[in-house]
A = this chain, B = another copy of it.
Amino acid sequence: MCGIFSAWKVPEAAHLTYLGLFALQHRGQEGAGIISTNFQAGEKFLGHRGQGLVSNIFSKPQIESLRGMAAIGHNRYSTAGGSHAKNLQPLWVESSLSEVAVAHNGNLTNASIIRRKLEAEGSVFQTNVDTEVIMHLMARAKGTAAERLESALAEVEGAFSLVVLVREQISGSAKTETKLFVVKDPHGLRPLVLGKLGDGYVAASETCAFDLVGATLERELKPGEVLEFSENAEMKSWFLKKKVTPAPCVFEWIYFSRPDSHVFDESVYEMRKKMGGILAARDKEEGFTADMVIGVPDSGIPAAIGYSQASGMPFEMGLIRNHYIGRTFIEPHQSIRDFSVKIKQNPLRDNLKGKRIVVVDDSIVRGTTSKKINQFLREAGAKEIHMRISAPPTISPCYYGIDTPKESELIAANKSVSEIRDFVVADSVKYISIADLYAGLKIDRPMCDACFTKKYPIEPKDALARSSC
């Protein structure tokens, strides 16, 4: 997934970016980076990138060394295999355009095709991140930074929420000017919001990043919109030329965004509560009742609250999440059953014993985690387990930045609901239907729901679409 943040014309821009990335940590824990600049002609961009959590990557001296009134930052998601220091963002190059740094949330679906073409023309690539093609296209384009950006983005397809910091030569002069572009792709697949902070601006993947830095939400960017910030001009808004039907990702509401964020003009928490309500309404129709409703922490909690309110069945805590976990936890040689889940979640035995329980979760991907959780809910004494998934079945992979496994590993692509129920050792399993989802959330605009429908708004041209974020 990844999270991005930018700060423009605010003091301690890099420090605020650091706080913004911290608030967006749930969007990527593999690594992070910040690039800053102080609009000085001679001075190069300053930057630091590292692996791990934001709070571990940046020390006080490092944050303070990233001087300047403008900065961009990036949280990288942990994708299988591709973990390598060289793939950390923001990417940062020098070219005909002086300096360019880019942070990207999303995934380009024709990146490898463009890459092979550029390589054939003599370009060298230093990362395995699809984002790098944007920098090469900009370097090979002509005109101003804005013109080059527009030209480059006309060639790429897929999902891209971007923050782009550029130092460009002022035409007919030896001077340079620093610019910041905040960009959302024409489909508007990933969220990106604009905020105001003092005399300057911030942008972020989610509004929760504004709360910590004290910024106020201006608005969500429109699909295809580019915000252009210049040293010596007001903020400009213009649009990429490609005209397509917007398709914001419905999964941001279901799972990825933080519940305290406002995403695609909706409260994530409210949307999740409604999803719980949809599930409860169907159960009510069928006269189903249970002793209590619990959510799988943390993402299942809001839908569980919604289910409880709509059904009248009491909301309870059923699992406690242990938040002190580092990245690697040492397992003993003697086998502890379901260790990987137990180390993160613990059932409230006294509360579960002998009870018929509705367990609300946001998705069942491979089914293995759900199975382990249900197993130890049973060991803890639960009499019946009724899983309610606050989304339709996940049947196809995402090519736009979410790291879902391939179809053959998705349980809902390969098993019926009753087979899934047996696999995850539940007494019943229910999903939301596509129709219920749209009706219940009152969605009256097109969205991307390809993971549930296989209807991809953009054809994934790369045989193996590189998972960027």
Query: Which residues of A come within 8 Å of B, CB atoms?
Result: 11-12, 15-16, 18-19, 22-23, 25-26, 29, 49, 53-56, 58-60, 63, 85-86, 91-96, 100, 119-126, 128, 135-136, 139-141, 207-208, 211-214, 258-260, 262, 267, 269-270, 301-302, 305, 308-309, 314-317, 320, 322-326, 329-330, 332-334, 336-337, 342-343, 346-351, 380
Chain B residues positioned under 8 Å from A334 (CB to CB): 11-12
Chain B residues positioned under 8 Å from A325 (CB to CB): 55
Given contacts A60-B330, A259-B348, A348-B269, contact A320 B93 (CB under 8 A): no
- 24 residue pairs of the A-B complex, CB under 8 angstroms, read A11-B333, A15-B330, A18-B330, A22-B343, A26-B324, A54-B324, A63-B330, A93-B125, A96-B119, A122-B136, A122-B139, A122-B140, A123-B124, A123-B139, A211-B342, A212-B343, A212-B346, A259-B320, A259-B348, A260-B346, A262-B349, A269-B351, A301-B317, A323-B323
Could you say which of B23, B136, B347 contacts A124, with CB atoms under 8 Å apart? B136
Given contacts A16-B332, A125-B95, A348-B260, contact A309 B314 (CB under 8 A): yes
**Bound-state Cα–Cα, A95 to B11, Å:** 40
Please state if A53 and B324 are interface contacts (CB–CB under 8 Å).
yes
Of A124, A126, A346, A350, the most chain B CB neighbours within 10 A belong to A124
Chain B residues positioned under 8 Å from A259 (CB to CB): 317, 320, 348
Given contacts A124-B123, A309-B314, contact A350 B136 (CB under 8 A): no
**Bound-state Cα–Cα, A349 to B206, Å:** 13
Please state if A322 and B211 are interface contacts (CB–CB under 8 Å).
no
**Bound-state Cα–Cα, A324 to B141, Å:** 41
